[in-house]
Amino acid sequence: MGFGTWAWGNQLLWGYQESMDSELQECFNLALRNGIHLFDTADSYGTGKLNGQSERLLGKFIREFEGSIKSPDDVVIATKFAAYPWRLTSGQFVNACKSSLERLQLDQLGIGQLHWSTANYAPLQERALWDGLVEIYEKGFVRAVGVSNYGPKQLLKIHSYLASKGVPLSSAQVQFSLLSMGDEQMELKTVCDSLGIRLIAYSPLGLGMLTGKYDASNLPKGPRSVLFRQILPGLESLLSSLRRIAEKKGKTMSQVAINWCMCKGTIPIPGVKSIRHVEENLGALGWRLSPAEISELESAAMAAPKKMIQNVFQTA
């Protein structure tokens, strides 16, 4: 399991305030001390003037960590570079990587990822972005490269292209949870397994819908409430199964939902913005759901009338 930092700097969706930084530092410290090594971020994380704030905070937290960081494996920073329309050359992509390294104040990233594919709307830009991944790997700016929001067909194409350049594709990040386990997601997992690519599961809690903390009369603030209002009413069976299994195992519903992702062979990256989040997410480690429990959860999930809306940038 790793931790996601989308909320760090995002005022619109997650209500970030700079006054939260001291607790976010404590979150990072607690995670690192408890064996969490992977932290996912992006050069686009942070709203308005706070664009890039997530990377800046991670860099600060690494520098100010009071424990010992002995090797690059102790903290693996996986950042994503946005496929902005003005990033039209591999050189511009390399510069984006350099800017991230500067914000993080690191010499090398753990994983450099292409945040999304442009195949659906700007196919000619795609090759330049792929060449950018090749360059940042060859220049040693990253230890590994990955992609995000790629479907199975496009994943096969980029894997083949990178392989022809001698660059291994290490990871593929996609929305994956009990609310996002459709045919395309499962096909993508099969492709990843066949190619030796690790699937990183973002939004493993369905933006919070699988936590059991919300219902029709208690919705989150901000834009999430619109989505919750559409999907939550049809999740009674799934939430009931999560609650029953959680009670039987002495776990929380969130821990069960995250553990399901791990049982499916993915690396979930739940978001954290409080000590309570870190402590609860850590409780998803060290145990496994039974095959019968996995089957029960998946049957209930498939019966839900509405699922999570897929990322608009995800390709086929």
Residue 80, CA distances (Å) to 65, 112, 147, 219, 252 in order: 23, 6, 8, 30, 30
The residue to which tokens 């998946």 are assigned: 298
Sequence-separated (6 or more) residues with CB below 8 Å from residue 153: 315, 316
Neighbours of 30 (CB within 10 A): 15
The residue from 45, 137, 150, 214 that is catalytic is: 45
Q: How far is residue 145's CA from residue 132's CA, in Å, rounded to a whole number?
A: 10
Dihedral in degrees, nearest 10, Cα atoms 9, 15, 20, 21: 0
Q: Tell me, yes or no, if 45 is annotated catalytic.
A: yes
SS3 content of the chain, % helix, strand, coil (to 5): 50, 15, 35
Buried b (16+ CB within 10 A) or exposed e, 267-285: bbbbbbbeeebbebbbbbe
Catalytic amino acids?
45
